[in-house]
Chains A and B, each alone.
Chain A
């Protein structure tokens, strides 16, 4: 059993550092995603990473796209749809965006000057259509983020993403929308004359929307999104930090996520293994030692499987990680590997 306890100190020397120092050093990074299965500590990790990055960057923005917002909890401070400075920092801001809210906003903005009662017929159809596009809600929140980010010029943006499936859909969205919009553009150029015959010469839809205007809006959205998509596929600009715990399901999800990220061409080279138990030597806590043994098994597997990744070990603390001080203390361990007490 003492073998198990010393495992943390004796790690295979493969030349790769077991910290996120490489992310701090890579000054060209603009987008950092933090993702993983639910409940593994994504928010804590992204907050800690943001704190560490704020020390070496001019300005950092932390964005939560998870509908269950935890940033406010983590920093014990209320955040909203607008970027707001985190208390005690002068270059770290945070915001929470609601993926479901923004699509309503967009549709409402479309029908300017029209009554809500008028949203019948084609208006309703457009709404249904818009909701039917996979990943549209994420993309809308994303578009909102882009608007903000463009005007505020943050040096680094960290995304605290929603649990796995959600995240990947969000990343996939630009290509889906690009295909859909290419089709729509083609159709509208082919049948444009026909449609304007139906809709009148100015192409206005029954609820006060304007077909051409809407097409233009979609086109600009597509342009922005495809631009961002190329940025995401650039490993100098974007990286993905996987957070997991040493348990089978979490590992399985992580592996799946890493493979999918590879197919999207998104760089990932860091894994944060969270909630590690380090029972003291001679501890008679049965659960702790049994669980520790299981964790060690999976840690060995992780080391073997992801040999070219930066694998960071984070301990499970005895206290909740909330508030600036505790987060700062926790964030230290992302940079300087944690050494368990003897």
Chain B
């Protein structure tokens, strides 16, 4: 059953990616993507930003106006300022609430589509063989282990396949991260080394000028 095989692999891959990137980062990325689409919520956020700009402009002008010399102008600005601020704060709580709602939806969906599937598939297909081992290649205890817990003997069970996928993906991710880190540190070291070399040269030049 190759589709199940692929599905398990993909689910594990996704779970591992989410773990290493971080759920909050992914949420905010998706949020940014959604708000950049022409949907009503994105419109509201654009409005909010526009209002914020307007408010800041009014505030700057208010600060630049002398309340004693131009009281009327100052008071009118103040009224405008207070009104804008009130509106902004009211809107902000509403928008924050919608953001929190969006986040909770996203989290639920993500949990169902990763953790849920991760538990459900092995439970549902626990008796199905993912693929068969070549007959007679492995000793009995290996075959027993490969079919753990309930798949027919001589096949690889879904749980074992899941373990294998997890192990492999973790290994690859760790390797990639380590390689990246190594490359970065090597690059940094190279830079660090380059700097003293430069200063040494300057020093040399200084010495030479001194000696002259």
Q: How far is the CB of B71 from chain A (nearest CB, A)?
A: 4
Which parts of A147-172 form the interface with B (CB within 8 Å)?
A: none
In the assembled complex, the CB of A258 is this many whole angstroms from the nearest CB of chain B, namely: 9
Evaluate contact between A304 and B72: CB separation under 8 angstroms.
yes
Query: Which residues of chain A have C-beta atoms less than 8 A from B76's C-beta?
Result: 305
Q: Is A252 an interface residue (CB 8 A)?
A: yes
B79–A248 CB distance below 8 A: no
Which B residues are in CB contact (< 8 Å) with A248?
Answer: 67-68, 71
Q: Mark A258-276, 1 if CB is under 8 A from B, else 0.
A: 0100000000000000000
Total interface residues in chain B, CB < 8 Å? 10
B82 contacts the other chain (CB 8 A): yes
**Taking the nearest CB of chain B, how far is it from the CB of A91, in angstroms?**
39
Q: How many angstroms between the C-alpha atoms of A270 and B76 in the bound complex?
A: 18
Do the beta carbons of A298 and B71 come within 8 Å of each other? yes
B97 contacts the other chain (Cβ, under 8 Å)? no
SS of B interface (majority): helix
Chain B residues within 8 Å of A300, by CB: 72
Indicate if the CB atoms of B75 and A305 lie closer than 8 Å. Answer: yes
CA distance A330 to B162 in the complex (A): 96
Residues on B with C-beta less than 8 A from A304 are 72
Smallest CB gap from A307: residue in B: B72
Q: How far is the CB of A180 from chain B (nearest CB, A)?
A: 24
| Chain B CB within 10 A, most for which of A248, A300, A305 | A305
Q: Does B78 contact A (CB under 8 A)?
A: yes
Q: How far is the CA of A127 from the CA of B174 in the complex (A)?
A: 69
- Specify which chain B residues have a CB less than 8 angstroms from the CB of A251 in the assembled complex: 71
Q: How many residues of A are counted as interface, with CB atoms below 8 angstroms from the partner's CB atoms?
A: 11
- Cβ of A301 within 8 Å of any chain B Cβ, yes or no, is yes
A255 at the interface (CB under 8 A from B): yes
A301, B71: Cβ atoms under 8 Å? yes
B25 proximal to A (CB < 8 A) = no
Q: Is the CB of B67 within 8 A of A301?
A: no
Chain A residues 291 to 333 lying within 8 A of chain B, measured CB to CB, are 298, 300-302, 304-305
> How distant is B87 from chain A, measured CB to nearest CB, in Å?
14
- Say whether B70 faces chain A, with CB atoms less than 8 Å apart: yes
- Pairs across A and B, CB under 8 Å, 21 listed: A248-B67, A248-B68, A248-B71, A251-B71, A252-B67, A255-B75, A255-B78, A259-B79, A259-B82, A298-B71, A300-B72, A301-B70, A301-B71, A301-B72, A302-B71, A302-B72, A304-B72, A305-B71, A305-B72, A305-B75, A305-B76
Query: A interface vs B, CB < 8 Å?
Result: 248, 251-252, 255, 259, 298, 300-302, 304-305
| B interface, CB within 8 angstroms of A | 67-68, 70-72, 75-76, 78-79, 82
Besides A248-B67, A259-B82, A298-B71, 6 other A-B contacts (C-beta < 8 A): A255-B75, A255-B78, A259-B79, A301-B70, A305-B71, A305-B76
